[in-house]
Structure 1
Amino acid sequence: MSRICELTGKGRQVGHNVSHANNKTKRTFLPNLQNVTLMSDTLGKSVRLRVSTHGLRSVEHVGGLDNWLLKTSDEDLSLRARRLKREVRKAGAPAEAAA
């Protein structure tokens, strides 16, 4: 299982542990990933994703999973999130045409 957020694309970063004697050794900084179930209002179902806490706050700020997916570019999204975005766009198109 890769350590990459499925919504934001945030992954691991590389840096140094620095000792008191200023010795530097390589280390990795991992994102705080959580398994969450998010509700899609357009599809009317819940979706299980592996999301960073920063990404989860961003989704809440934008107004939900559907708004986040439609706003975000495809390069940042995982394959599962891109498929979900396609489903949301397809399900949302008839509702927009009726309005």
Structure 2
Amino acid sequence: MARRCELTGKGVMVGNNVSHALNRTRRRFLPNLINVTLISDALNRPVKLRISAAALRTVEHRGGLDAFLIKQSDTDLSPLAQGIKKEIRAALAAA
């Protein structure tokens, strides 16, 4: 399973551990990913996603999953999230 947020595209970053003697060894900075179930108002069903904690705060700030996905660009979204976004657009257009 890839260590990448399904909504924001945030992934693993690399850098160095730097000791007191300035010895440098490579390390990985992993995103804070959590498994969540978000409710889509337009689809009236829950959606399971693996997103970062920062993305969860952003979803709540923007007013829910539907508002977040409509505003987010497709390049950052995972294929699963792009499919959900397409379903939400269709549901909103039909209503």
Q: Counterpart amino acid of 1:57?
A: R
SS in 2 for 1:88: helix
Deviation at 1:85, TM superposition (A): 0.2
Considering only aligned residues, what root-mean-square deviation do their CA atoms show, in Å?
0.4
1: CA distance between counterparts of 2:11 and 2:73? 17
2: CA distance between counterparts of 1:45 and 1:22? 53
1: CA distance between counterparts of 2:57 and 2:2? 21
2: CA distance between counterparts of 1:53 and 1:94? 32
- Counting only pairs closer than 5 Å after superposition, residues 14-93 of structure 1 correspond to structure 2 as 14-93=14-93
Structure 1 unmatched runs, 5+:
none
1: CA distance between counterparts of 2:15 and 2:60? 30
Q: Deviations over 1:25-48 (max 9, x none)?
A: 000000000000000000000000
Structure 2 unmatched runs, 5+:
none
Count how many residue pairs are aligned between Structure 1 and Structure 2. Answer: 95
1: CA distance between counterparts of 2:62 and 2:40? 13
State percent identity of aligned pairs: 61
Question: After TM superposition, which residue ranges in structure 1, 4 or more long, deviate above 4 angstroms?
Answer: none
Q: TM-score, normalised by structure 2?
A: 0.99
Q: TM-score, normalised by structure 1?
A: 0.95
SS in 1 for 2:39: strand
Deviation at 1:94, TM superposition (A): 1.8
SS in 1 for 2:36: strand
2: CA distance between counterparts of 1:73 and 1:33? 20
SS in 2 for 1:77: coil
1:8 aligned residue: 8
